[in-house]
Structure 1
Amino acid sequence: METSDILRHQIIKNLMAQHTENIADTAISLWELMATQIISIVGKGGFHSLYARSVFLTQSTFPWLTVDAVPSQAGQPFADLKISFEGQTVATIIEANSVLLITFTDILASLIGEQLTTRILRSAWGNAASIQVDKEFQHE
């Protein structure tokens, strides 16, 4: 299981490092793609609870991160996250969103298992996630 954790974390870090232009938009896009997959399993309320918990835990390192008490409108579910990114450096956004995604997927993996979590990420993020996992397996 430790290897899977490392692989999942590496997928996230690699995806965030690949796109330094419009980093806030890239971060939001990763969340939207992942949310679509997870909401189909746990519903909007379940997703928002996991997301809010992840933001809360990540705030100890990045206190400027915020989450709405009530989920944002359907058209912009991560508006609060995007607002939090305003004024931050590219490196800070990359690090904060990586930690937030890792925290979220750690919680999710503890609930539904590592294998299903990784499968959801692959489904949400497509080839970019699969390629990174395949490369890691080849080096072991």
Structure 2
Amino acid sequence: MATRSRLWHTEIRTTLTKHPEAVLGMTSHLWRQLAGELIPIIGGLGFKSLYARSCSLTRLDFPWLVNEQLTAGTDFSFTQLSKCLARQNVTEASEGSARLLITFYDTLALLIGESMADTIISDAWSDTTLLDHLEI
């Protein structure tokens, strides 16, 4: 039986590569939803720290990924991320976006546990196609 984290990994990759032409919109939507769910729990600076760490780790394989300068008072629109993705071909953008989200999930799960991370991610992405086929 696959772990829940592997199910999330697969679903994130599938969602972002199924319709590569929509990767920019889907990526922005997923990050805004995730920020909206987590910021009330860990604060803007807490979210910024997790996001920055995820960007740093993801840049090892996707060096074109720029660390967006999020601040506690930002609207978390992920403008820099969108610009980075837009400069790549759709395959590279999809793969980089998926890796960043997966790295964020893995980091969150490491810090608070897989069960709690699953609950937060499920709540954040309840209106997306990510949950259409995922059973956790």
Tell me if structure 2 keeps the 8 A contact 1:105–1:117.
Answer: yes
Task: Specify the SS of the correspondent of 2:12.
Answer: helix
Cα deviation, residue 14, structure 1: 2.2
The structural deviation recorded for 1:72 is 8.6
Q: Which residue of 1 aligns with 2:52?
A: 52
- Could you tell me how far apart the structure 2 residues matched to 1:114 and 1:12 are? 16
Q: Work out the percentage of aligned pairs sharing the same amino acid.
A: 35
1:80 paired with 2:88, answer no
Once the two structures are TM-superposed, the CA of residue 131 in structure 1 deviates from its matched residue by: 2.7
- TM-score w.r.t. the length of structure 2 is 0.87
Residue type of the alignment partner of 2:130: A
Q: TM-score, normalised by structure 1?
A: 0.85
Instruction: State the distance in 1 between where 2:76 and 2:19 align.
Output: 21
Matched letter for residue 89 of structure 2: T
- Correspondence 1:53-72 to 2 at 5 A: 53-71=53-71
- CA distance in structure 1 between the aligned counterparts of 2:110 and 2:2, rounded to whole angstroms: 12
Superimposed CA distance per residue, residues 31-70 of structure 1 (whole angstroms, 9 cap, x where no aligned partner): 1111111112111000000000100111111111111345
Q: CA deviation at 1:26?
A: 1.4
Q: Distance in 2 between matches of 1:22 and 1:9?
A: 19
Unaligned 5+ residue runs, structure 1?
Answer: none
Q: Find the counterpart in structure 1 of residue 121 from structure 2.
A: 121
How far, CA to CA, are the matches of 1:113 and 1:102 in structure 2? Answer: 15
Shift of 1:89: 0.9
> Gaps (5+ residues) in structure 2?
none
Runs of 4+, deviation exceeding 6 Å? none
Q: Residues of 1 paired with 2:16 and 2:104: CA distance?
A: 15
The Cα shift of 1:29 comes to 1.0
Partner of 2:105: 105
Is contact 2:68-2:81 (8 Å) kept? no
Determine the C-alpha separation between the residues in 1 that align with 2:76 and 2:131.
Answer: 27
